[in-house]
Structure 1
Amino acid sequence: MQSLPVFLRLTGRPVILTGEGEAADAKRRLLERAGAIVVGEEDAAARIAIVADGDAATVARLRARGVLVNATDVPDLCDFTLPAIVDRDPVLIAIGTGGASAGLAKALRQRLEAMLPARLGNLATALFAGRAAIRARWPDAAERRRAIDAGLAPGGPIDPLRDGAVDGVPGWLAAEGVVTPSRLEVIRLRSGDPDDLTLRAARLLGEADCVYHHPVVAAAILDRARADAVRIMADGPPEMPGEGLSLWLEMDQP
């Protein structure tokens, strides 16, 4: 990973935009949509800039002032890049290629636009509004996370890819037995290449509370697990894996 994806709150903040023409107009619309105040290069308060014509001299002047710069279509001059965006406010999905191919990012955005329900943002808003009820329903943090995971899982009562998921929030909160029982799943890896993971293995890695793994399992595979999942190196699967979803990762024998 060569860049850290972040979401900047720009409402009411000055952002420098230089250049003219179609590219500059598109960037202006994007900044205004995010609530930024679009200003010129002379604004001393601005700390972020988009140089829409990619002019190297302008980039150099702004960088000398400590301004973070995006130079349109010149990745080597960029401190940050602008992703393709799928907007289901307040849900935002950003697709970036590090400036390698805006066309690829656009194609992926179009695919995701077709997949994601228009009311996905309403589900996020309902879950935010229900935070107190969710905490009261599941006081323990680990149990609460597992309950949310089970509700949002494919086919679950609030599956985010189902258009009516927001309507299922009250029933999900009231239902009994929505937490998935603790279990251990075994994943036999074909290689150390994450691209060889099956869809099931990739999904389980994203859900697991604890990942037990043989010493030869590649770090690139372990990186696909949740950032807060516990990782334990072992010679064999655990007898008592603990609460939630645990995985045992081992390499297939040749």
Structure 2
Amino acid sequence: MHSLPLFHRIARERVVVVGSGEMAAAKARLVTRAGGIPCAETEAHHARLGFVALEDPRAAEAAALRLKRAGLLVNVADRPELCDFTLPSVLDRDPVLVAVSTGGASAGLAKHVRLRLEALLPQGLGALARALEAARETIRARFPQADARRRALDEALRQGGALDPFDEQDNDVVDRWLAGRSAARDGEVLDVTLASDDPDDLTLRQARALGMADTVLHDPDVPEALLVRARADATRLPLPADPPASGLTVILQRKP
């Protein structure tokens, strides 16, 4: 990865915007939309973030250096080499945010990837997230063990599941799921024989299973590019090893 993706809360925080015209106005609108307070460079001592939107390259670089010396993280429009952070193209299904970044390589590419995703994600996705948040304690009571809770949610949120996020859902869908007899699957094992070392050669089913797996057992020489398709908190074990008794285990083996 070229950057560490973070979502920075700026509600009621001052954020410096240096510049004038439409480019600076767009940054100020973005700050306001996220709950922040756009302010001038003279208030930099109150801020932690700053945007520089100046056409003149030397003026932009000088402004960035001043803000950095004041301890701010800085974004400079169209100058990725001067940026402490870059702005992704954001798909907003509040409170669900999907951010697409190219690290400043091409804002146009990020935009068009985001537009494709806009067509895929239903408008009701935010309502589903809020319903899950409201039901958090009920879900904990229904599934007291963390691993069982995670598996139950994985089962419900998978493609075709009771809470499939790509389906339009009504306001009562989480309550209906909790009132039903949904149960997490125990001890499921998926054996994957890799076609190649290219992650793009994974089938859709294999990629989804990796993203849901609690445990990944793998040949020692399976490349990192494939292993990172698994959840960051999934247990990784080199073969030979026995699958655990619970949870979803994916076994990655290379062709003999």
Q: TM-score, normalised by structure 2?
A: 0.94
Rounded Cα–Cα distance in structure 2 between residues aligned with 1:170 and 1:102: 40
* Structure 1 equivalent of residue 145 of structure 2: 140
Decide which of 133, 149, 157 is 1:152's aligned counterpart. 157
DSSP 3-state at the match of 1:135? helix
Runs of 4+ in 1 over 4 A off after TM superposition: none
Rounded Cα–Cα distance in structure 1 between residues aligned with 2:228 and 2:162: 29
Q: CA deviation at 1:196?
A: 2.3
- The aligned runs of 1:106-121 (5 Å cut-off) are 106-121=111-126
Q: CA deviation at 1:8?
A: 0.9
- The aligned runs of 1:1-254 (5 Å cut-off) are 1-43=1-43, 44-53=45-54, 55-164=60-169, 166-235=171-240, 238=242, 240-253=243-256
* Residue identity in the other structure for 1:61: R
* Residue identity in the other structure for 1:242: A
Q: CA deviation at 1:195?
A: 2.4
Contact 1:209 1:244 in 2 (8 A): yes
Q: CA deviation at 1:104?
A: 0.7
Rounded Cα–Cα distance in structure 2 between residues aligned with 1:178 and 1:86: 32
Contact 1:15 1:46 in 2 (8 A): yes
Rounded Cα–Cα distance in structure 2 between residues aligned with 1:23 and 1:202: 39
Contact 1:157 1:165 in 2 (8 A): no
Residue by residue, what CA displacement relative to the aligned partner does 1:111-166 show, whole Å, maximum 9, x if unpaired? 11111111111100100000111011111110011001111111111111111254
DSSP 3-state at the match of 1:158? coil
Q: Structure 1 regions of 5+ residues with no counterpart?
A: none
Contact 2:186 2:245 in 1 (8 A): no
Which stretch shifts more, 2-11 or 188-197?
188-197
* Residue identity in the other structure for 1:10: I
Aligned residues: 251
DSSP 3-state at the match of 1:42? helix
Q: CA deviation at 1:82?
A: 0.6
Rounded Cα–Cα distance in structure 2 between residues aligned with 1:15 and 1:213: 46
Which stretch shifts more, 180-189 or 92-101?
180-189
Which stretch shifts more, 158-167 or 126-135?
158-167
Rounded Cα–Cα distance in structure 1 between residues aligned with 2:171 and 2:230: 27
Contact 2:187 2:245 in 1 (8 A): yes
Residue by residue, what CA displacement relative to the aligned partner does 1:8-38 show, whole Å, maximum 9, x if unpaired? 1111101000111221111111110111111
Q: CA deviation at 1:67?
A: 1.1
